[in-house]
Amino acid sequence: MLREALRDGSFAVTCEFVPGRGKGGPAVDAAAQFARDLGAAGVTVHAVSITDNPGGNPAISPDVLAAEIRQVGGEPLVHFSCRDRNRNAIESRAMALARMGIQNLLVITGDYPSNGCYEGTSAGVFDLDAVQAVKYLKEMNAGIKVPGKKPGTTASLPATDFLLGVGVSPFKLTEEELMLQFFKLEKKVRAGADFIIPQLGYDMRKFLEIKRYLASRDLNVPVVGNVYVLSYGAAKVMQGGGVPGCVVTDELVAKLKAESAEPDKGKGKRLERAAQMVAMFKGMGFGGVHIGGFGLKSDDFVYIIRHGLELEPQWESFIPEVSFSRPNEFYAFPAPVTYRPTRQEKDPVATLSPGCTSVFFSVWNLLHGLLFDRKALGYRILVAWYRFLEKHKLLGSITHTFEFAVKSVFLGCRDCGDCALPDTAYRCPMYRCAKQQRNGPCGGSRDGMCEVYPTEKPCAWIAIYQRLKGAGRIEELRQAYVPPCRAELRYTSGWANFFLNRDHAAVPAETPAASGAGESAANAGPEPKANIH
């Protein structure tokens, strides 16, 4: 149902279920009944969304609950986080979901693991970022190519049919944070995203800016508005930064506090506000709504959906009621003349200030041009040098030690062997970013500070944005796809791997002979341990 609703331009409705921890209990057992109740209520719900360890807290896998929801006639939308799985596990999970007939995925980076795990805090994996994961899953839809049994041949696995949603967090205070969210969203769309669900928020102008940015880039992807029924208690937690990426202003908290003093503790006002947001999203031309909230019953969801559709003729009058912004908040576009749908927007990048030149970045960029540019004389000399080192291991080891010393002191190198420094303005994502993101920041930053270290470290991508903007190279942030780090190269020389064509920047090898291209997946052999030419 969800795929057809988004494709046909119907107003899609998804309702969120947040499972609890353990194999059973009210927060787990209620999933199937929740879907059953919604299906029997006489309103159209196109999918039940099931979260994947939200907040980085352990919970039962959404996959098993998705299967239970399908058994009672519901359609699940499974959150698919990159936090806890490497590439092997991501593919295994995806294929298992496909085999169970579960096609709708919301692909997200995932919140960093929190306290409360077994014997300490769990390690975050983040082997892929959301852009890379979408690309991977989209290739599965096409029948992903794997090595065949015979050397130099490939085989195709059976194609999947995933519908891929992605997130974006527009509720950012600064230019750097907001534009980086839009740039990464563009990468996700170009990687194959089918729809977008933004982070929760309470500023309709910021929601509208997502559609305005997509229009400015001629990207026609449905956006499903986020309607979160916010209680006073939850608002206080979010106000204090307790939920990554969620912004609740002081003004809104004060309003919710006053409403909580009413006999129903403000529930009636909360549901009314949610219904108004449904009406606004429909009037603004969004592709649907994603409804969630702590402690909601199926009757609450039904009321929000029905009442929201009843309120649609009045939707424009509700805009001022959900326009909570912060002092000096950055907007990518001028204040809208209308909130009605439009496809005529100018690229906001043209309106940005030029930025300042970074001397540090300029020096490293100069060295890169002299030594790492494939057209440079220095590059050809170093290719010959590293070929020589391949035959002289001791000298190669000494050279690697020198490389690591220089890069660790000046650039924070972690010796991953698959260096992304030229892709990230010489800010090492393995060192600077807690989630090791190579294609843009996660959505968890707050006021420019890192989700994981909110009082100690700024988001690593702020400096990357500033450096590339100052150099007039801001387009790279939304155009260049950076592949994941190749784990087989860890603790080897990144320079050697670059000059010998072994890292992610390697020039593609020749396509295998046509005779091997048609080998069936049944004849696929094991993947080699290292893809080193």
> What is the distance between the alpha carbons of residues 426 and 423, in angstroms, rounded to a whole number?
7
The single residue listed with the structure tokens 């196109």 is 46
The pLDDT value recorded for residue 518 is 44
The pLDDT mean for the chain works out to: 94
Cα–Cα distances in Å, from 415 out to 75, 236, 323, 370, 488?
Answer: 45, 42, 46, 22, 12
**Closest C-alpha to 10, from 48, 51, 47:** 47
The pLDDT value recorded for residue 252 is 98
> What is the distance between the alpha carbons of residues 425 and 474, in angstroms, rounded to a whole number?
11
pLDDT above 70 for 369: yes
pLDDT above 50 for 315: yes
> What is the distance between the alpha carbons of residues 507 and 504, in angstroms, rounded to a whole number?
9
pLDDT above 80 for 363: yes
CB 231 within 8 A of CB 262: no
CB 90 within 8 A of CB 136: yes
200: confidence class by pLDDT, cuts 50, 70, 90: very high
Q: What is the pLDDT of residues 29-66, one digit of tens each?
A: 999 999 999 999 989 999 999 999 999 999 999 999 99
The pLDDT value recorded for residue 533 is 32
pTM of the model: 0.93
CB 99 within 8 A of CB 78: no
pLDDT above 70 for 522: no
Which residues are within 8 A (CB) of 410 and not within 5 positions of it... i.e. 6 or more apart?
A: none
> What is the distance between the alpha carbons of residues 45 and 2, in angstroms, rounded to a whole number?
9
**Domain-wise residue ranges, the chain:** 361-520
Cα–Cα distances in Å, from 95 out to 61, 119, 137, 138?
Answer: 15, 31, 10, 12
> What is the distance between the alpha carbons of residues 490 and 414, in angstroms, rounded to a whole number?
9
The pLDDT value recorded for residue 240 is 93
pLDDT above 80 for 83: yes
The pLDDT value recorded for residue 513 is 39
524: confidence class by pLDDT, cuts 50, 70, 90: very low
> What is the distance between the alpha carbons of residues 339 and 375, in angstroms, rounded to a whole number?
50
Other CB atoms within a 10 A radius of the CB of residue 347 amount to: 13
CB 139 within 8 A of CB 37: no
- Burial per residue of 455-487, b for 16 or more beta-carbon CB atoms within 10 angstroms, e otherwise: eeebbbbbbbbbbbbbbeebeebbeeebbbbbe
Across residues 166-192, what is the average pLDDT?
98
CB 193 within 8 A of CB 287: no
The pLDDT value recorded for residue 509 is 60
Least confident of 143-152, 324-333, 394-403, 408-417: 143-152
343: confidence class by pLDDT, cuts 50, 70, 90: confident
The pLDDT value recorded for residue 515 is 37
